[in-house]
Structures are given as C-alpha cells and as structure tokens.
C-alpha cells in the first residue's frame, strides 16, 4: 500500500518546536482537527492525546509531503502514538479500534503498524510533545477557584471551558495564526481567565508565581497575538455557551457549594 511516506533515512532532521513556531503556512493539523477530535471522542481518549497527536502530525508534515488522501490516516497514526506517550499502558486502545475511522474501513492492522513505524522513524523516535494541553490545565489547577473550569471529562474537547479553549487554540495554531511557545500561550490564556473570572485577584502576580513568566516582561507579544492580532480571546468567549463561560461557571459552583 502506498502511503506517501518517504524513506525515513532520507528525511531531514526532526522538526523542532522553534521550527513549528516559525512556520508561516497552515499546518496539516488545521485540516484534520474535527476528524481527530471525533476519533478521540469515540475512543474516550484524554484531551492531551488529541493535542499531542496533532503536534506529532505537524512535525511529520514539516519534512514529508503527506498526500491529501492520507492526512486523516496519518492523523490517526499520530493519535495512536500520542496515546502511547500520554496514557498508562493498560488504557491504550488497541490498533483495531482505530481502523474503522481510516481508509474507508479497509486498512488492516499490519498496514497501520507499518505507518506507525515509518512515522516514528521520521520523528527519529522523539515523540514527546509540548502543547497548551500540557500546560494550561496544570496552570488552572494551581488556582483552586478556577479548578471547576478544567472539568473531569476524559473525552477530547468535551465538557469543560479548558477543553474548549484548547480546541480553539489548536485551530489557531494549526492555521499558523499563533506562533508563540505553548507555555507562553497557556500563560496568557491563564492570565485572561483570571482577569475575567476573578477580577479581585492580582492576575499578573499569580501568573508569575505559577508559570515563571512575567506578564509585562515576557508575554506582551503573545498577548498581542491572542487579544489584538487574532482576537482569539474574543473568539473563545463568543464560541462558548454562556453556561460554561468562566464567570458563570464559577458562580454556578459557588451557588452549589452554598
């Protein structure tokens, strides 16, 4: 089966995070976000697996030409690899659970595993990802009053403000409209969430304590991208149902506690 993956020995070195940041064109992940989200939802995979898989796909796409007909299949392979990195061994779905979603259901397990090996070789077996999904939830959990925004849902992109935020960020990153570091993006979003939901607190002080970034010194360019240049924060608030916006979620939680 021709899969459009070249001889890995002929590939250029693995795409670094900085190379992904500087990519000016939309990435492969921008074309398969909905497919990958549905796949992770169907398999009850954690949100972090979705975002890890998307970044792995983008890294592969930096150096090989993935045929249009193969993008979804490669996304599934990268998601499978992401599940191996992010989940406990006993929780990882078997290959056969991925097969119905790709190749019109005609792809066999042997072909899927061959693709997995080829992708790993292209990546030089470097599969650890760093995405907003690896930073933002942990930042939010450091502030107990925001913990309700993380939610307990394991399904990718379901049920919490943070899950929805991560999907919007993935769309913007995939479209090459955001090019800051994932930790910077997460820190700015954390600051905006604090400012929106808990205006009585010193958001900048909390962000520096939790993330190590100074909002004024380190995050102004990233904030300009999120707030002014792309208006991602406005987009987030407009896309979210009112009942899961930060302020209303926190109010609901406080009402339940009282």
At residue 7, does pLDDT exceed 50? no
CB 256 within 8 A of CB 151: no
At residue 239, does pLDDT exceed 80? no
Average pLDDT rounded to a whole number, residues 171-179: 87
Quick one: pLDDT at residue 44?
93
At residue 98, does pLDDT exceed 60? yes
> Residue for token digits 């910077």?
184
Model pLDDT for residues 24-48, shown as the tens digit of each residue: 456 888 889 999 999 999 999 999 9
Quick one: pLDDT at residue 213?
97
Quick one: pLDDT at residue 145?
81
**26: DSSP letter:** P
Model pLDDT for residues 187-220, shown as the tens digit of each residue: 999 999 898 888 889 999 999 999 999 999 999 9
Residue 212 φ/ψ region, left for φ over 0, alpha for ψ in the -120 to 50 degree band, beta for the rest:
left
Quick one: pLDDT at residue 199?
86
CB neighbourhood size of 121 (10 A) = 14
Q: How far apart are CA 244 and CA 237, in angstroms?
A: 10
Quick one: pLDDT at residue 231?
82
At residue 242, does pLDDT exceed 90? no
pTM above 0.85, yes or no: no
CA 237 remoteness from chain centre: 18
Quick one: pLDDT at residue 160?
80
Out of 41-50, 108-117, 166-175, 179-188, least confident range: 166-175
Confidence of residue 136 (pLDDT cuts 50, 70, 90): very high
CB neighbourhood size of 124 (10 A) = 11
Quick one: pLDDT at residue 26?
64
At residue 11, does pLDDT exceed 90? no
At residue 236, does pLDDT exceed 80? no
Average pLDDT rounded to a whole number, residues 65-93: 94
At residue 18, does pLDDT exceed 60? no
CB 10 within 8 A of CB 116: no
At residue 5, does pLDDT exceed 80? no
**112: DSSP letter:** H
Q: How far apart are CA 176 and CA 153, in angstroms?
A: 28
Quick one: pLDDT at residue 158?
55
């Amino acid at each position: 089966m021709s899969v459009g993956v070249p001889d890995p020995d002929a590939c250029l070195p693995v795409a670094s995070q900085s190379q992904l940041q500087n990519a000016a064109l939309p990435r492969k992940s921008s074309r398969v976000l909905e497919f990958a989200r549905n796949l992770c939802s169907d398999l009850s995979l954690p949100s972090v697996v979705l975002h890890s898989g998307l970044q792995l796909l983008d890294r592969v796409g930096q150096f090989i030409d993935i045929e249009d007909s193969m993008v979804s299949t490669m996304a599934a392979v990268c998601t499978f690899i992401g599940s191996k990195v992010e989940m406990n061994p006993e929780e990882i779905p078997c290959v056969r659970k991925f097969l119905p979603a790709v190749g019109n259901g005609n792809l066999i397990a042997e072909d899927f595993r061959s693709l997995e090996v080829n992708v790993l070789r292209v990546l030089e077996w470097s599969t650890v990802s760093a995405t907003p999904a690896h930073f933002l939830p942990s930042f939010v959990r450091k502030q107990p009053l925001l913990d309700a925004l993380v939610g307990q849902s394991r399904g990718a992109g379901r049920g919490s403000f943070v899950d929805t935020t991560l999907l919007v960020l993935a769309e913007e990153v995939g479209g090459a409209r955001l090019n800051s570091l994932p930790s910077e993006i997460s820190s700015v979003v954390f600051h905006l969430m604090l400012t929106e939901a808990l205006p009585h607190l010193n958001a900048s002080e909390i962000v520096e304590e939790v993330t190590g970034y100074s909002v004024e010194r380190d995050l102004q360019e990233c904030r300009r991208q999120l707030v002014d240049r792309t208006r991602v924060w406005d987009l987030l608030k407009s896309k979210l149902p009112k009942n899961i916006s930060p302020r209303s979620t926190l109010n609901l939680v406080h009402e339940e506690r009282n």
